[in-house]
Amino acid sequence: MRKQQSGAPILVINCGSSSLKYEVYDMPGRDSLARGSIERIGEKNGKITQVSINGKYGREESIPDHERAMELMVAALLDEHNGVVEGIEEIKGVGHRVVHGGENYAESVIIDDAVIAAIEKNIELAPLHNPVNLTGILGAQQRLPHVPQVAVFDTAFHQTLTPAAYLYGLPRELYDKYKIRRYGFHGTSHRYVASQAIKYLKRSSENTNVISCHLGNGASITAIRNGRSIDTSMGFTPLEGLMMGTRSGDIDPAIIFFLLERGYTAEQLNEMLNKQSGLLGLSGISNDLRDLEDAAERGDRNAMEALDVYAYRIRKFIGAYAANIVKVDILVFTGGIGQYGARMRERICNRLENLGIVMDYRKNLENGPREGIISMDYSPTAIVVEPTNEELQIAIDTYELISAPGARTA
């Protein structure tokens, strides 16, 4: 007999250019009922895979567009054997990951015409992401016309930055005319792991300062004071900040002009900085930390240098944020590398002792990817491994918004 949900099912959608990922949570219990992925949208050999409390569901077919992807998602959720709802009307809310809210939104919001207009307006700031995020919203509105939809913006958490943190040293007219400033990304992840780490340590956000390290193929660091983001490493785009899997992170901007004068095109440089640099470019081997760790153990110099640069850049940001945040109560590691890369965490924390961040290297290795404290008992700053869950944070925001007194629910 098929298991049933007992609360309010919330559907979370993350719509990409050629993929659609989704998850259903039973709220307010926060139990995941189903997680699915639709891949190769626009190709002949598309596929959908779903794992739910009732089993696995899979199907392969041509998926010409996102409209068909939405149909497949609904069919999987309703499947009589492996689905999780009897009728699509059981879904009480839909939460959407939206990359860029610009300066319009500092928190998640129920979607209406004004929100859609703002997402469209900010397409110029996120031309690869906002259009497909909007496609997901419009498709969900068509399939679930009477269900409230919520936008959860990657940039929203960082709207608490002051001008000192978000302005660049460029002519003021570039901000006034084009809104060129630091926006920051990964906000949903930083907000989630910071709140979970504070809860894990039985502290209160009102008197706790956190430096959160989201380290994956994309990587960023955020300084959080009293629950509010005060600085973050990604900037106008996700290219700024840390060296990442394939992104360069911070470089001298004059390098761009140097290479342009030597025949590189703007398109080639864009491709190079975003997809051919970082760990991949510097090592010449891979953007996967595990491959580089293996190569470094074999004595590969390029791999060792790439790993050292990665850790060095992160330490620099931690030191800078520690100076501005004054007192660091918690240092959080999350993301694919932050959660699973114990040796990289060790490289990063080595030499941070003078800041009061003292790792217990034995705990670090024994803890592995689990939630846990990996600092010495006497360390003034607690170092915590905290798995991220952006989908759950989106579900939480969605449920809270649609459940609020006076919320518009249709």
Catalytic residue ranges: 154
SS (H, E, C) 308-355: HHHHHHHHHHHHHHHHHHCCCCEEEEEHHHHHHCHHHHHHHHCCCHHH
Both tokens of 196, joined, read 């979970």
With beta carbons less than 8 A apart as the criterion, state whether 374 and 201 touch.
no
CA–CA gap between residue 230 and residue 158 (Å, rounded): 7
Give Cβ neighbours of residue 141 (< 8 Å, ≥ 6 apart): 111, 149
| Exposed/middle/buried for residue 345 (C-beta within 10 Å: 0-12, 13-18, 19+) | buried
Both tokens of 248, joined, read 């360069």
How do the residues of the chain divide into helix, strand and coil, expressed in percent and rounded to 5? 40, 20, 35
Query: With b meaning 16 or more CB within 10 Å and e meaning fewer, what string describes 155-184?
Result: bbbbbbbeeebbeeeeeeeeeeeeebbbbb
Question: Looking at 16-154, which runs of residues are DSSP E strands?
Answer: 19-27, 31-39, 43-52, 55-63, 93-98, 109-110, 149-153
Amino acid at 151: A
With beta carbons less than 8 A apart as the criterion, state whether 94 and 10 touch.
yes
CA–CA gap between residue 11 and residue 15 (Å, rounded): 13
**Rounded-to-10 torsion of CA 78, 83, 87, 89:** -100
